[in-house]
């Protein structure tokens, strides 16, 4: 029955929970992906940066060597060149050392440089130029730094290998490019003329070059797969769990929503089952709630009472049920026999601080009404639920007893209460659970259980109601054991209270 209601809401429920799952998963994976890209980039930049600083260290001795050569510029080349050769052997990274006169190499450690290599005045001093060699190693990369004043000075050149041989020692540097002005080269040392550079770059602060590399989407994907598969799967699982939670919650909320509406529409109606005395004379009734839903017909309490109790809706539901019951019975008040018992089921929640007043108010309405003169109100508290706060319950019991309201322990034998609880709470009736009545006339092993439970009930010196009596055999047995009241299909199933009134009170 309730499934039909749920079906109408399924679509919305699925939508919400799938959206929640996908939403959480997307946010989670986006964070993981962004984090991975960031850390991958940072790692690459660190490696680029280390190449830059290694190259800078190799160029470190340039200032010193230029300062050593500068005093030689005034000497004749025959003297100067010997000194230049003495200097160059001390430094591995230099290819040639040269003295410039009139912007052209005049003296050099390599004779081919003389009168062949020149400097241009427009380039600033002490700046690194990386270029293609035309004199000593034509076609290969060299580095050059000059310091020339008034067309005279010093020029030093480096073997290009000092730049790219480093890459051999750096992990994953296949795509690293060393770039300066208009040229770049990679670890192969082949010159490319292009100013285009890749997306990640670290530039030297001191010299005119940078190291850059391209990171492709594929690199990021590989990185994520390698390091974050587990996290992503974990997020997928978490998203599914949350999705399921949302799904169940949506289900609960939608049922609750319908239930609230139904209280407003007065869809919860009282059914009644007669309770007879041992002579078979009508002595009372038990009100059993039914949900008469406009779309789905009659719904039984075992479906909605647990949800009503869990959500607290049981409180307004009971208030309404009691009011409806009292109103209907008042209409036939004159036909109701004296001492008639009206049984109402209540829940443990009714004794919580926040709900007590609601129960007491409903009872007050009863005691203030004319029904009170000839009937007894009996509140049935089930043993199946545990009592939340024993002291609170006891004080409400006292209040109710002062109002002459009677209390029954329902489903006796099935639940939580210990005998001392029952004694202290001052019940007036005991309703023996149907499961014990069912044992009557069954087998020899089970039968003593029934005797024991009846015996126990009698020792408590309370009036006893047997529930779920269906057969003559059960009835006879209960009569011989002096059980006071009988309730069950033997006499009648629960029927709408209106029908009950028609049947018994007209
Ligand atoms: O007739 P039956 O199927 O009605 O009842 C099923 C269960 O629902 C029983 O355990 C009964 O105590 C409980 N029940 C029926 N009506 C009410 C009610 O109005 N309030 C509470 N709390 N329980 C009820
Ligand atoms: O509140 P309580 O748990 O006592 O509710 C009694 C329950 O037992 C209700 O569900 C009611 O419909 C059911 N009931 C009452 N008499 C009989 C009976 O003779 N046989 C069966 N099977 N159920 C019964
Ligand atoms: Mn009951």
Q: 483 by DSSP, 3-state: which?
A: coil
**126 close to 147: Cβ distance less than 8 angstroms:** yes
Average pLDDT over residues 272-289: 97
Q: How many whole angstroms from 288 Cα to the centroid of ligand 1?
A: 5
Q: Which of 178, 197, 217 is the last residue of a domain?
A: 217
* One domain, residues 350 and 202: no
Summarised one tens digit per residue, pLDDT across range 81-119 is 999 999 999 988 899 999 999 999 999 999 999 999 999
pLDDT at residue 444, rounded to an integer: 67
Q: 490 by DSSP, 3-state: which?
A: coil
CB atoms within 10 A of CB 140: 17
**270 close to 328: Cβ distance less than 8 angstroms:** yes
Ion ligand 3: residue ranges with CB closer than 5 A: 345, 380, 410
Q: How many whole angstroms from 289 Cα to the centroid of ligand 1?
A: 6
Determine the Cα–Cα distance for residues 69 and 98; give it in Å rounded to an integer.
8
Q: 367 by DSSP, 3-state: which?
A: helix
Residue that has been written with the tokens 């409903």 in this structure: 362
Worst-scoring range by mean pLDDT, 133-137, 197-201, 285-289? 197-201
**484 close to 464: Cβ distance less than 8 angstroms:** yes
Q: Which of 183, 199, 217 is the last residue of a domain?
A: 217
Domain count, the chain: 2
State pTM to two decimals.
0.60
Determine the Cα–Cα distance for residues 436 and 451; give it in Å rounded to an integer.
9
pLDDT for 445 beyond 80: no
- From the alpha carbon of 490, which atom of ligand 2 is closest? 19
370 to 180, 429, 504: CA distances (angstroms)? 105, 24, 19
CB atoms within 10 A of CB 78: 8
Confidence of residue 358 (pLDDT cuts 50, 70, 90): very high
- From the alpha carbon of 288, which atom of ligand 1 is closest? 16
What contacts 24+ positions apart, CB below 8 Å, involve 295-303?
Answer: 295/4, 295/5, 296/1, 296/2, 296/4, 296/5, 297/1, 298/1, 299/1, 299/2, 300/1, 303/1, 303/2
Average pLDDT over residues 463-492: 96
Q: Report whether residue 321 contacts ligand 1, using a CB cutoff of 6 Å.
A: yes
- Domain-located, residue 2: no
* One domain, residues 336 and 456: yes
**388 close to 351: Cβ distance less than 8 angstroms:** yes
pLDDT at residue 3, rounded to an integer: 58
pLDDT at residue 53, rounded to an integer: 94
Determine the Cα–Cα distance for residues 199 and 342; give it in Å rounded to an integer.
85
pLDDT for 406 beyond 60: yes
Nearest ligand to residue 347 Cα: 1
Confidence of residue 255 (pLDDT cuts 50, 70, 90): confident
* One domain, residues 200 and 336: no
Confidence of residue 7 (pLDDT cuts 50, 70, 90): low
Q: Which of 188, 217, 246 is the last residue of a domain?
A: 217
pLDDT at residue 195, rounded to an integer: 77
Q: Report whether residue 289 contacts ligand 1, using a CB cutoff of 6 Å.
A: yes
* One domain, residues 277 and 338: yes
Fill in the DSSP letter of residue 337: P
Work out the angle between the directed axes of helices 353-368 and 314-331 (0-180°, nearest 10): 0
- Domain-located, residue 44: yes
* One domain, residues 290 and 207: no
Residue that has been written with the tokens 């005395």 in this structure: 277
pLDDT at residue 9, rounded to an integer: 58
- State the virtual CA torsion across 56, 61, 64, 69 in degrees, nearest 10: -120
Determine the Cα–Cα distance for residues 356 and 363; give it in Å rounded to an integer.
11
Summarised one tens digit per residue, pLDDT across range 455-465 is 988 888 899 99
Confidence of residue 1 (pLDDT cuts 50, 70, 90): very low
- Domain-located, residue 226: no
pLDDT for 11 beyond 80: no
* One domain, residues 189 and 271: no
The residues, any chain, with a CB within 8 Å of residue 115's CB and separated by 6 or more, are 104, 105, 106
- From the alpha carbon of 384, which atom of ligand 2 is closest? 3
Q: Report whether residue 504 contacts ligand 1, using a CB cutoff of 6 Å.
A: no
- From the alpha carbon of 487, which atom of ligand 2 is closest? 16
pLDDT at residue 250, rounded to an integer: 77
Q: Report whether residue 77 contacts ligand 1, using a CB cutoff of 6 Å.
A: no
**336 close to 283: Cβ distance less than 8 angstroms:** no
Q: Report whether residue 272 contacts ligand 1, using a CB cutoff of 6 Å.
A: no
- Domain-located, residue 185: yes
State which of 263, 267, 287, 301 you would mutate to test the pocket of ligand 1, scoring each by most atoms of that ligand within 8 A of its C-beta. Answer: 301
333-352 burial code (b ≥16 CB/10 A, e <16): eeebeeebbbbbbbbbbbbb
Average pLDDT over residues 4-10: 57
Helix (H), strand (E) counts: the chain: 14, 20
- CATH code of 458's domain: 3.20.20.450
Q: Which domain holds residue 107?
A: 27-217
- Domain-located, residue 236: no
pLDDT at residue 349, rounded to an integer: 92
* One domain, residues 484 and 413: yes
* One domain, residues 392 and 299: yes
Determine the Cα–Cα distance for residues 276 and 253; give it in Å rounded to an integer.
41
pLDDT for 5 beyond 60: no
Helical (H) or strand (E) element with 23 = helix 2-58
Determine the Cα–Cα distance for residues 272 and 288; give it in Å rounded to an integer.
6
- Domain-located, residue 341: yes
pLDDT for 6 beyond 60: no
pLDDT at residue 23, rounded to an integer: 93
Average pLDDT over residues 64-79: 93
- Domain-located, residue 413: yes
Which protein residue has the closest C-alpha to ligand 1 atom 4?
A: 288
* One domain, residues 145 and 280: no
pLDDT for 301 beyond 60: yes
CB atoms within 10 A of CB 238: 14
Q: Which of 212, 209, 213, 111 is nearest to 160 (CA)?
A: 209
pLDDT at residue 256, rounded to an integer: 81
* One domain, residues 386 and 496: yes
Summarised one tens digit per residue, pLDDT across range 158-216 is 999 989 988 888 888 888 999 988 899 988 888 999 877 778 999 999 898 999 998 88
Q: How many whole angstroms from 423 Cα to the centroid of ligand 2?
A: 25
Q: How many whole angstroms from 2 Cα to the centroid of ligand 3?
A: 22
* One domain, residues 99 and 211: yes
- Domain-located, residue 252: no
Q: How many whole angstroms from 302 Cα to the centroid of ligand 1?
A: 7
* One domain, residues 192 and 310: no
121 — phi, psi (to 5°)?
-70, -20
């Amino acid at each position: 029955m309730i499934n039909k209601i749920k079906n109408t809401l399924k679509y919305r429920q699925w939508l919400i929970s799938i959206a929640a799952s996908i939403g959480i998963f997307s946010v989670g994976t986006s964070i993981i992906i962004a984090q991975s890209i960031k850390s991958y980039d940072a790692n690459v930049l660190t490696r680029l940066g280390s190449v830059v600083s290694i190259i800078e260290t190799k160029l470190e001795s340039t200032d010193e060597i230029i300062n050593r050569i500068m005093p030689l510029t005034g000497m004749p080349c025959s003297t100067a060149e010997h000194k230049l050769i003495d200097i160059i052997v001390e430094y591995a990274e230099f290819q040639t050392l040269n003295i410039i006169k009139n912007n052209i190499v005049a003296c050099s450690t390599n004779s081919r440089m003389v009168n062949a290599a020149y400097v241009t005045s427009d380039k600033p001093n002490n700046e690194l130029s990386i270029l293609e060699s035309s004199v000593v190693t034509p076609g290969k990369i060299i580095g050059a730094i000059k310091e020339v004043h008034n067309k005279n000075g010093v020029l030093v050149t480096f073997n290009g290998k000092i730049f790219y041989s480093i890459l051999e020692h750096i992990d994953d540097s296949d795509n690293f490019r060393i770039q300066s002005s208009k040229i770049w080269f990679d670890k192969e040392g082949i010159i490319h003329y292009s100013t285009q550079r890749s997306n990640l770059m670290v530039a030297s602060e001191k010299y005119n070059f940078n190291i850059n590399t391209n990171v492709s989407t594929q690199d990021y994907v590989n990185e994520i797969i390698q390091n974050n598969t587990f996290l992503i799967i974990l997020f997928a699982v978490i998203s599914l769990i949350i999705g399921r939670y949302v799904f169940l919650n949506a289900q609960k909320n939608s049922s609750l929503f319908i239930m609230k509406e139904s209280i407003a529409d007065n869809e919860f109606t009282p059914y009644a089952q007669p309770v007879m005395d041992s002579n078979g004379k009508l002595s009372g009734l038990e009100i059993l709630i039914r949900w008469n839903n406009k779309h789905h017909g009659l719904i039984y309490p075992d479906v909605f009472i647990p949800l009503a109790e869990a959500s607290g809706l049981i409180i307004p539901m009971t208030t309404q049920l009691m009011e409806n019951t009292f109103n209907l019975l008042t209409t036939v008040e004159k036909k109701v026999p004296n001492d008639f018992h009206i049984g109402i089921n209540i829940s443990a929640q009714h004794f919580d601080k926040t709900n007590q007043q609601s129960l007491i108010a409903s009872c007050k309405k009863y005691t203030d009404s004319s029904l009170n003169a000839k009937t007894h109100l009996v509140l049935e508290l089930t043993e199946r639920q545990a009592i939340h706060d024993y002291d609170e319950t006891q004080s409400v019991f006292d209040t109710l007893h002062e109002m002459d309201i009677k209390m029954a322990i329902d489903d006796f034998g099935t639940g939580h209460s210990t005998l001392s609880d029952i004694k202290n709470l001052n019940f007036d009736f005991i309703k023996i659970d149907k499961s014990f009545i069912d044992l009557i006339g069954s087998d020899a092993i089970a039968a003593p259980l029934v005797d024991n439970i009846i015996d126990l009930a009698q020792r408590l010196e309370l009036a006893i109601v047997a529930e779920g009596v269906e057969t003559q055999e059960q009835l006879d047995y209960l009569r011989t054991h002096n059980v006071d009241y009988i309730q069950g299909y033997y006499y009648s199933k629960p029927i709408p209270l209106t029908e009950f009134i028609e049947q018994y009170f007209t």
